[in-house]
Structure 1
């Protein structure tokens, strides 16, 4: 299925219930990073198939410059028209009355920023991207969390004293976490401002051991903003570890209001 967007052509996939009778609520999936609409490890395609089998229509698409879609890839901060076009196409094709959207990483951030303009009713945001990287190290909050966990593990302490740890990398990380906490960056400010308008209509899903999720949780805690948040004990950013896919599906079904 194709649809227009700012002079370009985007391609999408509509997964409909097997009985041919879509429910009144549909799920729009927005891919993160530069992933095509099947998602990492085909995760989004498989998720869409399972949800369709439960009576939920799902639409996935490639934004401009990604996969089959034409145009230039301007990144997630330029994806407002893409999300809007996909939302309108999905609503028209599936005849849904309530539109919920799901995205992981920078797709989650894009949905928070552009979802209202696109006419989306509710958001499910996984591991929202809130960091503007300055080097190859993870965010300070993620480094800090990782060190705390390592100090609880006798095996890690043994690696340190026996020379099994890269001292240069350790010193670099310690320098990062020892610096005073700075004010939120521009992206963090934009995201938290946008999220304040979704407080009753958004669910946050976090992978507990993921650096992006840890950075988001640290930044959002400092703002005082509270949103319904559910955390999965997994290090997988894309929820690809054993049991993650089923957990993610159930959390989405709950947010959609389906039994």
Structure 2
């Protein structure tokens, strides 16, 4: 399907956001706002978001990918994923202005951008749906537990590790030091960080306010995805959400965090496009 790529400059609290609107010739009324995880720009690792936008366009789905303030070509101070809610709001407003046939939106995010998308549902309840890839629920304790449970355990069964050990190439002291640090973190109580609740709890609260459809895509070879799964197991609210009919889940067992091989990225595009078009039929039929 033919599509156009249109560069945009959008205003956000006195700063300029630079983005690319990818607009198919025959466009769905449901658009996708691609939120970029940080710190990186709108092309994404190995052109991931460029390929995603073009892949969605071939399925008739318009999208906007943009640099939030302080990143890429956008102006302003650098900020983290919990400080970009105004950027997302400005991008959605610009999307409406420059793609007037688009009526509602899906937020698409990888890693901390997935977390930012979920938190944004508390600000904009009119979002039609979420696509969350390897969501970021990082805490020091949670990451340490994921390392021990998934990384170190898997390494013990890796033939390459034993080959290094027997050849004298394995850095035993360094590895033991890293393992010891991880074990200490799992034993510590979470350190209070001012008035804010830990990130998983803030995300839970956002989930409690959001009952809309979600597509969840998880990589099999990714500690962030494993930490997310471990977080889900600790909460009845998370477990109830994951098992609800509103959530569609796809697992890519061999994929890494950013779906770096082309066929993994193609699978993500296919799952995303099919899900968005299915949601559009329900929204506008």
Q: Give the structure-1-normalised TM-score.
A: 0.88
Per the TM alignment, residue 163 of structure 1 is displaced from its structure 2 partner at its CA by 3.8
Q: Are the structure 2 counterparts of residues 83 and 123 from structure 1 closer, same or farther at C-alpha, using a change threshold of 3 Å?
A: same
Query: How far, CA to CA, are the matches of 1:7 and 1:182 in structure 2?
Result: 41
Alpha-carbon deviations, 1:171-228, whole Å to 9, x = none? Answer: 2343324744856971121122223333542222111111211111111211131323
Q: Give the structure-2-normalised TM-score.
A: 0.80
Query: How far, CA to CA, are the matches of 2:255 and 2:58 in structure 1?
Result: 28
Point out where structure 1 has 5 or more consecutive residues left out of the alignment: none
Counterpart of 1:107 (choices 86, 101, 113) is: 113
Query: How far, CA to CA, are the matches of 1:80 and 1:223 in structure 2?
Result: 26
Q: Tell whether the 8 Å contact from 1:141 to 1:177 is kept in structure 2 after alignment.
A: no
Q: Secondary structure at the match of 1:219?
A: helix
Q: Tell whether the 8 Å contact from 2:59 to 2:273 is kept in structure 1 after alignment.
A: no
| Corresponding residue of 1:250 | 270
Q: Tell me how many residue pairs correspond in the alignment.
A: 255
Point out where structure 2 has 5 or more consecutive residues left out of the alignment: 1-7, 192-196
Query: How far, CA to CA, are the matches of 1:43 and 1:170 in structure 2?
Result: 33
Per the TM alignment, residue 239 of structure 1 is displaced from its structure 2 partner at its CA by 0.7
Q: Tell whether the 8 Å contact from 1:87 to 1:120 is kept in structure 2 after alignment.
A: no
| Corresponding residue of 1:13 | 20
| Corresponding residue of 1:196 | 208
Counterpart of 2:27 (choices 13, 16, 22) is: 22
Q: Are the structure 2 counterparts of residues 52 and 235 from structure 1 closer, same or farther at C-alpha, using a change threshold of 3 Å?
A: closer
Per the TM alignment, residue 235 of structure 1 is displaced from its structure 2 partner at its CA by 4.7
| Corresponding residue of 2:4 | none
Query: How far, CA to CA, are the matches of 1:217 and 1:182 in structure 2?
Result: 20
| Corresponding residue of 1:4 | 11
Query: How far, CA to CA, are the matches of 2:257 and 2:119 in structure 1?
Result: 21
Q: Tell whether the 8 Å contact from 1:103 to 1:126 is kept in structure 2 after alignment.
A: yes
| Corresponding residue of 1:75 | 80
Q: Are the structure 2 counterparts of residues 2 and 208 from structure 1 closer, same or farther at C-alpha, using a change threshold of 3 Å?
A: same
Q: Tell whether the 8 Å contact from 2:68 to 2:74 is kept in structure 1 after alignment.
A: yes
